[in-house]
A and B are shown apart, each in its own frame.
Chain A
Amino acid sequence: MIDDATVRHVARLARLRLSDAEEQVMREELSGILAHIDAIQAMDLDGVEPTTHVVELENVLRADVPRPSLPRDEALREARNTVDGEFAVPRMD
């Protein structure tokens, strides 16, 4: 139902490192789940609008008035790698 190449492609899109074994298991499990989900393929949905929100709100806006920002030490507190007040990330290839 869903092939290896697709599993690898999706895993890359989702930034998940899967071992070969995990890829296999994932392929089987996803195929199984998709088989059940495919029930919706058969339904007649002509002319039916999609629902994004079940709550009927519009124009929820915020006044352009500043609120205090976090003190810098709090903004950085939970990060494992920081350098001179900035968040550090490894090199891009």
Chain B
Amino acid sequence: MNLRDLSAVQQIEEIRAGRVSSLDLVDAHLAAIAHDDVEAFLAVDADGARSRARAIDAMPERPPLAGVPIAVKDALSTRDIVTTSGSKMLEGFRPVYTATCVARLEAAGAVVVGKTNMDEFAMGSSTENSAYKNTLNPWDHTRVPGGSSGGSAAAVSARQVPWSLGSDTGGSIRQPAALCGIVGMKPTYGAISRYGLIAFASSLDQVGPLARTVADAALLLKYVVGHDPMDSTSLHWPTPIEVPTATDLTGLRIGVVEELMGQGIDPGIRAVVDDALVQAEGLGATIVPVSLPTSLSGLATYYVLAPAECSANLARFDGIRYGPSADADTLLDQYEVTRGTLFGAEVKRRIMLGTFALASGYYDQYYGRAQRVRTLIVREFARAFAHVDVLASPTSPTVAFPIGDRTADPYSMYLADVCTIPASLAGLPALSIPCGMAEGLPVGLQLAGPAFSENRLLDVAHALEQAIAFDTRPPGLPQ
């Protein structure tokens, strides 16, 4: 038995039973990371991790997460571990504080081993927009792991860590989870504090767990949700997150989103998702077709709102208070050259798009209208949830695509998010579980629920996961 093949829950059990120390467990993972051939990590803090593991091993009473290692997406601020958000704009930047969600996990006993690669400032669906390197899909090293939390997904899939934290704005946890054959969840907007998450689109960004099992994802979620006085948009969480145990779906009404099971979705994926839904019926669920026509406008809406918010969120990057700076003689050069040279192409594109959408003369047409379409999408979901308990669809319209395939046409990359964006716009919880294979690559099933329905969502996902019994181990992965 390889420790690293165990789920986080099982690893915690091993530590509590005294069969392995946190230090040994962390060391085993650090060794795998050192041989990282999927380039999941941007920074590894081996010394810090070992020291933390030793401290936990020495405690008379172990904290709940017992000293199990975790990786953190480089969009999250970690005090004194270089944090770049995948950008040259923050090359070498050491934050002076740690993100609330990371601090909570550390307090619960998780050991942060390093920071994972991502699309620059979380903008992208393949991690190819990272200013540093590409991350490879553990299932096929010629293909992308998805994005923007590609590193977090690959690290979990490749068993370099049992679980990781990512961030999701339009699908950046769910889509890479689907492409890498693991579990990824974006909770209800406001569930997890955004304090310390380097902002991309404030009204859409959420932190969430990636793991190999639904139970692991739930456990991670449990220790990060809840109100943070440092985040005005964070919620007081009504009921504790429970580790799921359901095996039966009797009485559950699953709505299948018609618009996301038609053209625009690879046939291989539709077939696998259909099979998964048949499995759900076998467990007692009722499958109901649901139409969400406005969700098709989600992509256009998202690509106005997200760039608009990001254009303001990224305006603080000017090399004056932190980060590298251009050699500038004038203030205008300081701003324009620093930003022109240190931001990558996709980031600049979105800043331009967003600035345009907010500019005088264009606001009503673009930003104003997009906010109204968002209202329609929110209402449409509410109407759907009057008839069904969860909504199902593929997570991604395609399986993992080859590296370099979509970098020439920005919009082709944006299409990767068509299934995941609507739940982001509505602020609803959604997760992806691996449900089968197409073209030899993992396929993700997305389940979404009403706000605060995390526990039910996790139960449904868990039951299905048990029934489907997907093997999350990529073939050819070194032991």
Chain A residues at the B interface, C-beta cutoff of 8 Å? 2, 6-7, 9-11, 13-18, 26, 29-30, 32-34, 36-41, 43, 45, 48-55, 57, 60, 62, 70, 74-75, 77-81, 87, 89-93
Contacts and interface: CB of A to CB of B under 8 A. Distances in A.
A59 to B, nearest CB: 10
A39 B426 CA distance: 19
A43 B232 contact: no
A90 B330 contact: yes
A38 B318 CA distance: 32
Interface stretch (B242-250, B336-344, B395-403): B336-344
B163 to A, nearest CB: 26
Contacts of B371: 50-52
B233 A16 contact: no
Given A16-B343, A57-B190, A26 B329 contact: no
Contact of B351 (A16, A33, A77, A79): A16
A51 B322 CA distance: 33
B375 A57 contact: no
B320 A52 contact: no
B303 A15 contact: no
Nearest to A32: B411
A50 B375 contact: yes
Interface in B228-283: 229, 232-233, 235
Nearest to B227: A60
Contacts, number: 162
Contacts of A75: 96
B356 A45 contact: no
A11 B352 contact: yes
Contacts of B349: 26, 29-30, 33
A74 B371 CA distance: 39
Nearest to A50: B371
Kindly list the 6 A-B residue pairs having the minimum CB-CB distance in the complex, ordered from nearest: A54-B427, A50-B371, A17-B340, A78-B322, A17-B336, A15-B335
Given A14-B339, A14-B355, 7 more contacts: A10-B352, A16-B352, A33-B410, A37-B304, A48-B375, A51-B378, A55-B189
Contact of A91 (B331, B340, B370, B427): B331
23 contacts: A10-B356, A14-B311, A14-B339, A15-B335, A16-B343, A16-B351, A16-B352, A18-B348, A26-B349, A33-B353, A33-B411, A36-B303, A40-B300, A43-B297, A43-B373, A48-B375, A54-B426, A55-B235, A57-B232, A70-B96, A75-B96, A90-B333, A90-B334
A75 B97 CA distance: 11
A8 to B, nearest CB: 11
B372 interface: yes
Contacts of B341: 17
Nearest to A59: B232
A91 B334 CA distance: 10
B23 to A, nearest CB: 30
B427 A55 contact: yes
Given A10-B355, A48-B372, A81-B325, A54 B334 contact: no
A16 B336 contact: yes
A9 B303 CA distance: 20
A39 B320 CA distance: 39
A37 B332 CA distance: 31
Nearest to B188: A55
B299 A93 contact: no
Given A26-B348, A51-B371, A57-B235, A40 B304 contact: yes
Contact of A16 (B93, B96, B339): B339
B373 A87 contact: no
A13 to B, nearest CB: 5
B369 interface: yes
Contacts of B94: 77-78
Contact of B353 (A30, A39, A60): A30
Nearest to B410: A29
A87 to B, nearest CB: 6
B160 to A, nearest CB: 29
Contacts of B189: 54-55
